[in-house]
Amino acid sequence: MLVLETEICGIKMRNPTMLAAGVLGTTAASLNWASKSGAGAVVTKSFSIEPNRGYPNPTTVEVTGGFINAVGLSNPGVEAFTLELKKLEGSAPVVVSIYGSNPEEFGRLATKIGGMADMIELNVSCPHAVGGCGASIGQDPDLTAEVVKTVKNVIKTPISVKLTPNVTDIVEIAVASQKAGCDAITLINSLGPGMRIDIETAHTILHNKFGGLSGPAIKPIALRCVYDVYEAVNVPLIGVGGIKDYMDVVEFLFAGASCVQIGTAIYYDGLKIFRDICIGLERFMNRKGYQSVKEMVGITHNYD
């Protein structure tokens, strides 16, 4: 599958797919499994300085076109997570996702694990985080820039900042992130928050009432975010949101993503989705005469 090889921020990938943050990435075993299943890179669950129990169940509910989740960024904290990272044995590069409630916490986390990651992804975009974490940072261009600057000052590892679509103008936040020195931008975290109600009991289904929407329903919005941000920045983009097959991957590449992440589709198709996508993508590239993934990136901008 040589034709699928690509790179982002100098990190070599055997294909342009990554496991998305929060989907199976809490343990070394699950990350190793995704790597062995063919993911081009794996992203860990977002983790914080202290352990976080997250929200009580139910944390996930199916809706038309995907899921709503309010897991609440549950994770074992940086000390325990560092031990997991030492057990990684997959061949795919590892992107470590971190979150905090202020720039200083991001800086402390990055200092601690920067040397164990091929890339750090800054989660400033969770739509259901509490305590000043998540989207309350990513909706503010100055605060987002401050987080990026702080992390950039303490580590050499490339950083990607993961943005929320739940803003008036995502391009403004992307430009501020680039000015602050990020190496890449991941677009998008889950959309919303949204909700569901159980009509038998009249209670909200999720314990947290509201959660982030993911899955095929958000793909057109994610794609538009990638397309718009591509026109405004020079750093590479990582596309995520609703990708379920090779055709979705092609759309994201054409819109301007250098590589993509896959989350919710794994609940439907399992980890074999990475190989299925690669087979489909390679056939498509052969049929259309593309020699490399790189030459596909952003080409829709040449036509429209």
- Residues forming the site for ligand FMN (CB under 6 A): 20-23, 45-46, 60, 67, 69, 71, 73, 97, 123, 126, 162, 189-190, 214-215, 218, 240-243, 262-265
In the complex, minimum distance from the CB of residue 248 to ligand FMN, in angstroms, rounded to a whole number: 9
Taking the least distance from each CB to ligand FMN, the nearer of 30 and 190 is 190
Query: Closest CB to ligand FMN among 20 and 277?
Result: 20
Backbone angles phi, psi at 42, to 5 degrees: -125, 140
The single-letter DSSP state of residue 4 is: G
188: left (phi over 0), alpha (psi -120 to 50) or beta: beta
- Rounded to the nearest whole angstrom, what is the least distance from the CB of residue 283 to ligand FMN in the complex? 22
259 is catalytic: no
Using a 10 angstrom Cβ sphere, with 0-12 exposed, 13-18 middle and 19 or more buried, the burial of residue 87 is exposed
In the complex with ligand FMN, which residue's Cβ is closer, 94 or 126? Answer: 126
Euclidean distance between CA atoms 259 and 261, whole angstroms: 7
**Pick 97 or 178: Cβ nearer ligand FMN:** 97
Q: 162, 121 in Cβ contact below 8 A?
A: yes
Task: Please state, in angstroms and rounded to a whole number, the distance separating the CA atoms of residues 44 and 31.
Answer: 7
Structure tokens at 173: 């936040």
CB of 246: closest distance to ligand FMN in angstroms? 14
Pick the closest to residue 108 from 79, 140, 83 (CA basis).
Answer: 79
Quote the tokens at residue 266: 């794994």
Catalytic residue among 9, 126, 182, 259: 126
With 0-12 CB in 10 A as exposed, 13-18 as middle and 19+ as buried, what is 251? buried
Q: Looking at beta carbons, which residue is closest to ligand FMN?
A: 22
Measured from the CB atom, is 132 or 295 closer to ligand FMN? 132
Question: Shortest gap between Cβ of 52 and ligand FMN (angstroms)?
Answer: 10
Q: How far is the CB of 43 from ligand FMN (least distance, A)?
A: 7
Active-site residue list: 126
